[in-house]
Amino acid sequence: MDFFKEIERRRTFGIISHPDAGKTTLTEKLLLFGGAIQEAGAVKNNKIKKGATSDFMEIERQRGISVATSVLAFIYKDKKINILDTPGHKDFAEDTFRTLTAVDSVIVVIDVAKGVEPQTEKLVEVCRMRSIPMLVFINKLDREGKDAFDLLDEVEQKLGLRVTPMSFPIGMGYDFKGIYNIWEKKLNLFSGDNKTSISEGVEFSDLSNPELDTIIGETAADTLREEIELIDEVYPAFNQEEYLEGKLQPVFFGSALNNFGVKELLEAFIEIAPSPQPKKAEERLVDSKEEKLTGFVFKIHANMDPKHRDRLAFIKIVSGTFKRNAPYLHVRTGKKVKFSSPNAFFAERKEIVEESFPGDIVGIHDTGNFKIGDTLTEGEALNFKGIPSFSPEHFRYVNNADPMKSKQLYKGLDQLMDEGVAQLFTLDMNGRRVVGTVGALQYEVIQYRLEHEYGAKCTYENLAAHKACWVEPENPKSDEFIDFKRVKQRYLAKDKQGQLVFLADSEFTIQMTQNKYPSVKLHFTSEFKK
């Protein structure tokens, strides 16, 4: 198959939502329809050790939440689909923000009973900033929840989206009878017993047909007719161009746990969602159809397989063909690198691939050469933007709880920080290590992984810091900067890249410092210079 056809058949997307909206369940069911798995794992029931296919870290199985983005790929109707299942929990938001740099479109999952929740608002905001095409899936219709029109209003108002329903529920909760698929003009009836099998829809293009009354009952049929009429009057018709520009968001209803409405979502998705898109580098816009390879590292995962201590760098291919054993330029180091066993993913199952195309995610065994944001090319010096480190919100000193294992502790910290799970700062004054995270739950994950993957134990001690500010002096030799360093020495540290960071204890301190030292700039993300 030629290069352009390969690009056209790729669909790379992320699934985002608030925790517990059913994101991991939806991922499972998409895999089920894609024939990638035969039976869905019981995601929520932790007694069943299988867990969800996409949750492969031990701590995820215990807690029933996703803490790392996992990559899953399958073929459906000759389309190659790459799903990036992201953590919903706010303590892992940074991983999700980075993952959004590697997707071409997004499915937003919303719980019918809870409606739009804070974490969803944050993530959608990031997608809106980047004009990523979004598709909304309103989940858990088999439970009692908000009225469908109220939910559509909420999505428009809270998320600032312009929606168009592509399917619509018939009843809800106990009265839930099924879904009318506006996109395919089909009626799908719900029976609660088909949790692992798949039901087919009935063609139903004319809602005025009296047969509808027989199938779903007169009251439900009349309500559906009124609602569909209202949708035609109130909401814009679906327009693919507007969707691809991020100006219109199609909405689907369903119940992922009961396999309901998922197939309709997938069918519409492969038809309307974008194939790999051009991506902006600092130097120029890179088109996915260019023949020369470009790609960037958006995630690093240590110990995919704890027995082998392997570190994988996840690379999103932006343009060209990635070939096994071909030499590529690692732009940051200026070195040529070759990869003898690049992997494609299916959760924790990995397969070696000979070649990959734009849109694909490739896993590369890494001995510590890669950092998040690194670019690979065939020689051109390109740097893809948009993968900064954000200022953490929690700070703790790390203490070694087992002096015999200090080597393991430092190695573990080093590798886990490369994943971008959290950030490591070393204080200039006494060399103490400080871990900064976006959410407190991260500390538990780090502690757990240090013990189970590296055999090291650590304890934490609180540090009263409010924000990490990356320091950029106008003139590093100026008296003002020297004075700044002398006065603030107790609060100065270096990040993993060796950049100077000021750990400020309050918003007030930041303002006072900026007033007193105007030539010393303070930044809240690390991406202000190379």
pLDDT tens digits in sequence order for the chain, 530 residues long: 688 888 898 898 888 887 777 777 887 787 777 665 544 443 333 333 344 544 445 545 554 444 344 677 878 888 888 888 666 445 445 666 777 788 889 999 998 888 888 778 877 887 887 788 999 999 888 788 888 899 899 989 988 889 999 988 887 777 777 888 888 887 877 765 544 444 555 666 677 777 777 777 788 888 888 888 888 888 999 999 999 988 899 999 988 887 788 888 888 888 888 988 888 888 888 888 888 999 998 887 765 555 545 677 888 899 989 898 889 999 888 889 888 888 776 544 667 788 889 988 888 887 778 888 888 998 888 887 655 566 787 899 999 988 888 898 988 888 777 776 688 999 998 889 999 887 777 788 888 888 888 889 999 999 888 888 989 999 988 999 999 999 999 999 998 878 899 999 898 999 999 999 999 998 887 765 44
Is the Cβ–Cβ distance between 279 and 317 less than 8 Å?
no
Residues 6+ apart with CB under 8 A from 476: none
Integer Cα distance of 281 and 246 in angstroms: 20
- ∠ CA(202), CA(256), CA(258), 5° rounding? 65
Q: Shortest CA distance to 394 belongs to which of 447, 437, 432, 434?
A: 437
Q: Is 464 exposed, middle or buried (0-12, 13-18, 19+ CB in 10 A)?
A: exposed
Round to whole Å and give the CA distance between 427 and 433: 6
In contact, 275 and 105? CB cutoff 8 Å:
no
Q: Hey, what are 34's tokens?
A: 């894609």
pLDDT value of position 41 = 46
* β-bridge partners, 156: none
Please, what CATH class does the domain formed by 5-9+13-90+105-272 belong to? Answer: alpha beta
Under CATH, which number does the domain 279-377 receive?
3.40.50.300
Q: What is the pLDDT of residue 305?
A: 52
Would you state the structure tokens that stand for residue 502, as one six-digit string?
A: 């000021």
Q: Which CA distances in Å does 351 have to 151, 346, 363, 404, 409?
A: 42, 8, 10, 38, 31
Cα distances (Å, whole numbers) of residue 497 to 354, 368, 386, 414, 500: 33, 13, 17, 12, 9
pLDDT at site 43: 37
The pLDDT value given to residue 487: 92
CB 368 within 8 A of CB 418: yes
Q: From CA 243, how far away is CA 430, in angstroms rounded?
A: 54
Helix, coil or strand: residue 121: helix
What is the residue extent of each domain of the chain? Answer: 5-9+13-90+105-272, 279-377, 394-523
Q: How far apart are CA 207 and CA 221, in angstroms?
A: 8
Contacts of 283 (CB under 8 A, 6+ apart): 381, 382, 383
- Structure letter (DSSP) for residue 91: G
Per-residue pLDDT at 439: 72
CB neighbours of residue 138 within 10 Å: 27
Q: Are strands 163-165 and 249-253 parallel, antiparallel or unpaired?
A: parallel
**φ and ψ of 128, to 5 deg:** -65, -40
511: phi then psi, degrees, rounded to nearest 5: -65, -45
- In the chain, what's the furthest Cα-to-Cα distance? 86
- Is residue 279 within 8 Å of 287, Cβ to Cβ? no
User: Which CATH architecture does the domain made up of 394-523 adopt?
Assistant: 2-Layer Sandwich (3.30)
Residue 64 contacts residue 44 (beta carbons within 8 Å): yes
Describe the crossing of helices 118-129 and 148-159 by its angle, rounded to 10 degrees: 60
**Best CA proximity match to 136, nearest among 291, 23, 32:** 23
| 318/448 Cα distance (integer angstroms) | 35
Beta bridge partners, 337, equal 328
Token readout for 222 is: 């009349």
In angstroms, rounded to a whole number, what is the distance separating the alpha carbons of residues 461 and 49?
34
Rg, the chain, Cα only: 25
Q: Is it true that 5-9+13-90+105-272 and 394-523 share their CATH fold?
A: no
CB proximity list for 319: less than 8 A, separation 6 or greater: 286, 287, 288, 289, 290, 291, 292, 293, 294, 358
Say if strands 433-437 and 500-504 run parallel, antiparallel, or are unpaired. Answer: unpaired
Cα 524 to its chain centre, rounded Å, is 22
- Three-state SS sequence of 455-492: CCCEEEEECCCCEEEEEEECCCCCHHHHHHHHHCHHHE
